[in-house]
Homo-oligomer: A and B are copies of this chain.
Amino acid sequence: MPESRGYPRRRSSAKHEAIIESAIELADVEGYALTTIEKVAAHAGVGKATIYRWWKSRAELYTEVYQELVPLEELGRNTGNPRKDLTDLLKAVFRHYRQTPAGKILAGLISDSQLQASARDALKNNLVAGRKPLLLDILETARRDGSLEQGADTILIADALTGLIWRYLLVEPDSLKDDMAERMVAALVFRGTP
């Protein structure tokens, strides 16, 4: 109904983009915790109701922001070398965390997920469910080509990589650097130096 006629196509709306950009900037400058819907609305020159019209909660808004800041397409590349692919993927993620507020935002989303059921769903169904296959694909390729043993618990390994990233993001966010990507791959997946 809001899409059809009364209001222009949503994704192209200037308002919509102003909100997203304000959300990014405020998360960057003030941090996720201090970024309230109220402030985003004021910063974007938009009524609060306009935000609530499109997103049920701060978590939902920032889930979309995260997807925009760390787009799936920029992470995966299948070169046939799983170890390299995986390491590159992690490095790309960490780079986004350094260059954008995406890291803070993910940490904030994890925090929000414990405060509201809807936020937990947003995290689980979008970010987790949407990105886990990326890791699994690489790990499966590795198992198929023999660089990972047949019986490897790829799901758990994938979750462990995510868990490690979250853990560092939550308490030691500065540790997510390139060499950490190498260490993670070496310790959790392929065991040993390349």
Contact = CB atoms under 8 A, between A and B. Distances in A.
B183 A153 contact: yes
Interface stretch (A12-20, A66-74, A77-85, A167-175): A167-175
A107 interface: yes
Contact of A111 (B110, B172, B192): B110
Given A160-B164, A165-B163, A191 B188 contact: no
A60 to B, nearest CB: 16
Interface residues of A, number: 41
**How many copies, total?**
4
A113 interface: yes
A128 interface: yes
Consensus secondary structure, chain A interface: helix
Interface of A: 32-33, 107-108, 110-116, 120, 123-124, 128, 149, 151-153, 156-157, 159-160, 162-168, 170-172, 183-184, 186-188, 191-193
Given A110-B111, A111-B112, A111-B113, 16 more contacts: A32-B114, A113-B171, A123-B171, A124-B171, A124-B172, A149-B192, A151-B192, A153-B183, A156-B184, A157-B187, A159-B168, A160-B164, A162-B163, A163-B163, A163-B164, A167-B167
